[in-house]
Structure 1
Amino acid sequence: MPMSFRFEPGKIMQSTEVRQGRSSAQERATRKWPNLRWWIIALLFLSTVINYMDRQNLSILARTIQDDLKISDLQYSYVVQSFLLAYTLAYLFAGRVTDYLGTRLSMAAFIIWWSIADMLTSLSRGVFSLGFFRFLLGVGEPGNYTAAPKAVSEWFPPKERGLAIGIYTAGATMGAAIAPPVIAFLASHFHWRTVFLFTGSLGLVWVIPWLLLYRRPEEHPRVSAEELEHIKNYGASESGSEEMPAEGRWNYILKRRETWILMLGRMLTDPVWYFYLFWFPKYLTDARHLSLAEVGRIAWMVYLAADLGCILGGYFSGLLIKRGIVPVRSRIWVMTLAAVLLPLSPLIHSAPTPLVAVGIASVVAFAHMSWLICLSTIIVDVYPKPVVGTVFGLVAAGSGFGGMLSTNLVGRAVTAYSYAPVFVAMGFLHPMVYLLIRTIRPPKAAAGGAD
């Protein structure tokens, strides 16, 4: 049978329009986002805000919960210690989990875990159950601080890492800053148990945009060629290696003296920040006799100052790099200035008014967070990317151990004496550790760069 062909221009035009429509839809679906790396940092900032609200809620509600559940100050210190025990132990495997699962999946898993644990705190009936639920919270929360720096190592060149880490870490102090007024408001209108349900639910909502947005730069469909070139080549000579060390992960990490210096540094200096998280609101109510509403009105200043310390500490270290200082040295220069300010701590307890005390505490918090940002960024500067999560976890385990030990000592000091010796002790920790930190040498020091 002879075949016949019919020329139908309408259908050809329609088919062409369909193909063009599909092409346009595909183009829109893969449209590049400018400065995508900063959108990722914005998400990490929010996760850190949530992380700190979920741990800060207990200290703000401490007096209310203690009265309701008949918990003494010493028992309260045991509850805080249970969180810190889990927090410390979890760091030992959180970094390895982060390196194994990758940044995207590990972060999602960690925040889902700790959000559920925070919501379970609403079911507490006494010191044991309260301590158990805070232990579960401590198991999940370290993951934020092993996955986030790994994301920075994947998405940022050395000159921007200090600022990037400073921005997401500022979420910690922002969370601590907004927690007092927000939680005080919620507690004044609802039962304290409702507060834990609210703060815990925030993390579950956060997971949705994270899973939609995060990929490694080379795998991300929305990263532009220009940004990818910037990430890979801008200061690449100063970056940590992309390769796993030949001697293996743990042999390489444990034999480096920097690992032990940084771990000891966080063990001795992070208790200052743990005090401001877990005890400073209590100090204002117990020693300065402020009401919960009054604490909410002024305590935020300490955490806002800490926010500024995060961002400016990272910014100024990056500025020094642009002026020719090698990355590790730029971090240590900023830490020097911070160590000079921390001895102001003993003046807090003797301040004539609560407002003056909060003002001095704000300076101390600013200096400490500038110090912490630079110490954390040193890890990203000197270690190969495949082991960054593991190193962060190991170093942060020192932080958790120091926090756990110091919390017990603070509880005993406050019960037997007062807050005065606590503030005095906190004034000398950073200058002492600085003597060790300044011995860290930059990698490839001979390659150049000002010292």
Structure 2
Amino acid sequence: MVIVFLAAVLNYVDRQTLSALAPTIQHDLAMDDRAYADLVNLFLVAYTIAYLISGKLVDKLGTRRGGAIFVIWWSLANIATTFVHGVRSMGACRFMLGLGEAGVWPAASKAVSEWFPAKERATAIGLYTMGATVGATIAPSIVIPLAKWTLPGLGEGWRTAFLITGIAGFAWLVPWLFLYRKPRESQFISAEELAHIEQDGEPAEAAGEAWSWKQVLTFRPVWLLLFGRLLTDPIWYFFQFWFAKYLHSERGVSQDGLTMTWMIYAAAGAGSLVGGWLSGVLIKRSGSAPAARMRVMFGCACLMVPAAFLITRATSTPEVMGLAVCVVFLSLAWLTNITAIVVDVVPKHSVATVFSVVAAGSTLGGIVMNLIVATLVAGPSKKAAGFMDEALAAVFGPLLKAIEGRGYNPWFLVMAVLPLVAFLILRAGGLLRRRNSDTSLSC
């Protein structure tokens, strides 16, 4: 899992390079907040598209080859960003980055299903999710200093940050291609370790054909989990794409001072690990993996209400940071467990495909969040709407008119209740109820 962890680190360093350097890049490319929101949405649209196909590709090609393809793709996209000269070329590069970056997560979930028994899966998912938060944590401390370097022929210093972080992906490929194999094919695993991995009764290379799209789309938990992530993942996307801008514009934090956001991502890493560990403890007591995950998620949902609400009442930056740390900790503990449920309820041969469909709900929620927050912050647009703005406005037009220019506080209030609403939907939809028509749980 160390190599998967490092892939997650690189994934988030590359995606956070833009948000960490947003004030500088916006100035150099003459980009307003709406243009920045469009860039984020282009990334998320590509991410959604890639999710829908990447899981099937990983299930077909295997974890090793599939993971390598996506890391190569997004590393090239990040390197290409070095040479952009306007909003359009930046948008094209962010779109290509999104197409590549989504693929690592189905590959990671498949690796967990291949290498871990049920009681350890959430901890393993927490570990690679922590890799994402570590990447986001260290990104400002890496890319902000890199942006002060100006390499000959590149122009502004922020271009150096994209170049170097993109090259790092190719260094990762060496250990991945050399070391990663399925448990039964690995020369580094003993018979006792293999027996431990397969203790749930399904070997990592379980026989059976991968699910068809019809089987995937008619499996009830797929839709419940998709809606669960659609409602709750926007919380984490907000902290990735907008929180640094919030600190800069609303709390007066300078570009260099934004390195303090490492605390947010450190909290996310801690939440990932603690959430996975806690559900593992509950599984040992109750024996039901999905039920244990839901108990942890309910606790997170309840605690989220006061934590997010109080951000709107905070009077100082330290108060905001303390409350934001709590919100992110709870959000990632929730995310780790709802992700683990996918691995719990789907046979190993189709985990990546189902994971990718469920995760598409995540990016759709992120797109809607991005539109809402941009409207709250930027107010009425002073430029002609682009195709994406027009499409989203056709659906959300009345809502957007009602919230224009109201600032960040309404979003924090919405964020406070999203996990609780999602939990109630999962419970009411009978996520834990087994029916004969459903495929039997893998754990």
TM-score (norm 2): 0.88
Alignment partner, residue 190 of structure 2? 224
Alignment partner, residue 68 of structure 1? 28
1:329–1:442 Cα contact (<8 Å) kept:
no
Alignment of 1:150 onto 2:110: yes
Alignment partner, residue 204 of structure 1? 170
Count of matched residue pairs = 401
2:182–2:204 Cα contact (<8 Å) kept:
no
1:257 positional shift = 1.3
2:115–2:204 Cα contact (<8 Å) kept:
no
Alignment of 1:284 onto 2:247: yes
CA RMSD of aligned residues (A): 1.7
Residues 160-169 or 429-438, more deviating: 429-438
What is the identity, as a one-letter code, of the residue corresponding to 2:182?
Answer: R
- Identity, % of aligned positions: 45
283 and 51 in structure 1: CA distance in 2 versus 1, 3 angstrom threshold: same
Alignment partner, residue 251 of structure 1? 214
In the alignment, the residues of structure 1 paired with residue 181 and residue 435 of structure 2 have an alpha-carbon distance, to the nearest angstrom, of 30
Deviations 1:320-374 (A, max 9, x none): 1112341011100110111012212132233111111011001000000000000
Alignment partner, residue 3 of structure 1? none
Alignment partner, residue 295 of structure 1? 258
What is the identity, as a one-letter code, of the residue corresponding to 1:315?
Answer: W
What is the identity, as a one-letter code, of the residue corresponding to 1:227?
Answer: E
Listed as ranges, the matches of 1:68-217 within 5 Å are 68-190=28-150, 191-217=157-183
1:245–1:252 Cα contact (<8 Å) kept:
no
1:442 positional shift = 6.2
- Structure 2 segments unaligned to the other structure (5+ residues): 151-156, 380-404, 437-443
In the alignment, the residues of structure 2 paired with residue 272 and residue 51 of structure 1 have an alpha-carbon distance, to the nearest angstrom, of 19
Alignment partner, residue 429 of structure 1? 418
Alignment partner, residue 405 of structure 1? 368
What is the identity, as a one-letter code, of the residue corresponding to 2:270?
Answer: L
In the alignment, the residues of structure 1 paired with residue 131 and residue 141 of structure 2 have an alpha-carbon distance, to the nearest angstrom, of 16
1:240 positional shift = 9.9
1:245 positional shift = 6.2
Alignment of 1:315 onto 2:290: no
- The structure with the larger Rg is 1
Deviations 1:280-313 (A, max 9, x none): 01111111111112111x2111111110000010
1:185 positional shift = 1.8
Deviations 1:127-153 (A, max 9, x none): 100010000000000111000010110
Aligned match for 1:333, one of 283, 292, 295: 295
In the alignment, the residues of structure 1 paired with residue 104 and residue 135 of structure 2 have an alpha-carbon distance, to the nearest angstrom, of 14
Deviations 1:384-428 (A, max 9, x none): 111100001101111111111211111111112211111111111
In the alignment, the residues of structure 2 paired with residue 403 and residue 322 of structure 1 have an alpha-carbon distance, to the nearest angstrom, of 34
2:228–2:422 Cα contact (<8 Å) kept:
yes
Alignment partner, residue 440 of structure 2? none
Alignment partner, residue 387 of structure 2? none
2:183–2:204 Cα contact (<8 Å) kept:
no
Aligned match for 2:206, one of 242, 266, 270: 242
313 and 375 in structure 1: CA distance in 2 versus 1, 3 angstrom threshold: same
240 and 440 in structure 1: CA distance in 2 versus 1, 3 angstrom threshold: farther
What is the identity, as a one-letter code, of the residue corresponding to 1:236?
Answer: G
2:198–2:204 Cα contact (<8 Å) kept:
no
Aligned match for 2:10, one of 25, 50, 69: 50
1:49–1:171 Cα contact (<8 Å) kept:
yes
In the alignment, the residues of structure 2 paired with residue 250 and residue 383 of structure 1 have an alpha-carbon distance, to the nearest angstrom, of 14
1:158 positional shift = 0.5
1:242 positional shift = 3.1
What is the identity, as a one-letter code, of the residue corresponding to 1:216?
Answer: K
1:241 positional shift = 10
- Structure 1 segments unaligned to the other structure (5+ residues): 1-40, 446-451
What is the identity, as a one-letter code, of the residue corresponding to 1:436?
Answer: I
TM-score (norm 1): 0.86
Alignment partner, residue 388 of structure 2? none
What is the identity, as a one-letter code, of the residue corresponding to 2:58?
Answer: T
